[in-house]
Amino acid sequence: MDTAAQVDALLLLVSGALVFAVVPGFALLYGGMISSAGAVSAMRATLAGAGVAGVLFVIGGYGMLFGPPLVPHVVGVPGAVPGDAFALARACYAGAVCVLAVTIVASAVAPRVTLRGWVVFAAIWVAVVYFPAGFAVFDLTEGWATATLGVVDFGGAIPVSIAAAAGAAGLLLVCGRQPAHEIRERRNVPVMAAGGALVWFGWFGLTIGSEGAVDGFTGLIWINTLTASAAATIAWVTVDRIMMRRPTVTSAVCGAVAGLIAITPASGIVTTGWALLLGALSGIACAVIVDVAARAQFGTPMVVVVIHLVGSLVGLLFIGLFANGTGMVYSGNFDQLGAQVLAALIVAVWSFLVSWGAAALIQRTIGLTATAHVSWREDAPVEPSAG
């Protein structure tokens, strides 16, 4: 490799390592919203899901994401990670993103599912949902989303956040609403804040690594990531100040995450000014819809779904309106907006249906829904809902 390729490979390796910081971050953040026990439960499910995703990615997932088409425009031929240096660096980053997608689902559903049921579900979801959705977006020459529709999704919001949120919703539908007497949510604010800090730190790896090179866009992606997350933090805190008259640490942390999710698809194609507006809009939209979900008593799992689904949709739609050159404001047409909406809708529906079907099948066979909201203590002699 020449020097430029070595620098690009190093960027991918460092970015992949940063993405892995988000994995425990989400477990602590969303688990901490429930309780200390919830954080342990989320970490347990996250680690199990990461193991499943990592193994599947290495033995065949890389080829399904980047290999020659098995089904034209839909998915690649399963194949192992290649041996050359730059491809290995790209595989390290892509594998970390794959694990991140599973982590989002795990963090949302951990308190509701048995361990054995979750492991089986994670394997099905990664193979049938994530790999095809990732091929659609990450393969710029064959993927139906980017190559055919012309979708712009820099950081993979569609296969990561959209697919994960819809998958979690499908699984939670099978589990049903948790009985009120089983819900004992006592937020652990320090754990939650520590998780949010890890997510904010590691998310720069996701957005910068998506460029795959140190070039003229790298700095723009970094500053846009910071700008959008900061603006969303202020926006969410402001909404909570107006609606509840009591902004909290939860407000600030959730706002930062909403901004990070929203800027992911748009990080390299909008100006910093538009990134500021995007962050503010995502913070407001997520805060309002999360408040509605909270009043309906859907619980923390639905908060996870809302933040990832709404934040990603705001970012994808924003591209259709304000992306340099192709957005409606610059081009005068809605072609880009239509492509963004269609791709997000197709992946969301596919992920929801597959997840609902897989969860229903697992429920009828080995069991999926945990019988109670239990504490996953490491020193507990018995774990009654571990499956």
Domain span at residue 191 reads: 3-365
Residues 220-262 have pLDDT tens digits of: 999 999 999 999 999 999 998 887 767 788 889 999 999 999 9
Distance CA 102, CA 123 (A): 9
pLDDT of 40 reads 84
Distance CA 275, CA 244 (A): 27
Q: Please report, for the domain that includes residue 242, its CATH number.
A: 1.10.3430.10
pLDDT of 379 reads 39
Whether 168 and 275 have beta carbons less than 8 Å apart is answered as no
What stretch of H or E contains 76? Answer: strand 75-76
The total number of structural domains that make up the chain: 1
pLDDT of 327 reads 82
Whether 131 and 75 have beta carbons less than 8 Å apart is answered as yes
386 in a structural domain:
no
266 in a structural domain:
yes
Whether 368 and 113 have beta carbons less than 8 Å apart is answered as yes
53 in a structural domain:
yes
pLDDT of 184 reads 53
The model carries a pTM of 0.91
Token couple for 120: 């089986």
310 in a structural domain:
yes
382 in a structural domain:
no
Residues 285-304 have pLDDT tens digits of: 999 998 887 766 667 788 88
Q: Which amino acid, residue 205?
A: G
Residue 131's Cβ-count burial label (10 Å; 0-12, 13-18, 19+) is buried
Distance CA 89, CA 66 (A): 13
186 in a structural domain:
yes
Distance CA 168, CA 306 (A): 11
All residue ranges of the chain with pLDDT < 70 are 1, 36, 178-185, 245, 295-298, 371-387
pLDDT of 179 reads 57
Cα–chain center distance at 204: 14
Whether 74 and 131 have beta carbons less than 8 Å apart is answered as no
371 in a structural domain:
no
Distance CA 315, CA 208 (A): 16
**Which residue's structure tokens are 């989002």?**
104
pLDDT of 88 reads 92
66 in a structural domain:
yes
**Residues near 304 by beta carbon (within 8 Å), at least 6 away in sequence:** 30, 104, 107, 108, 165, 168
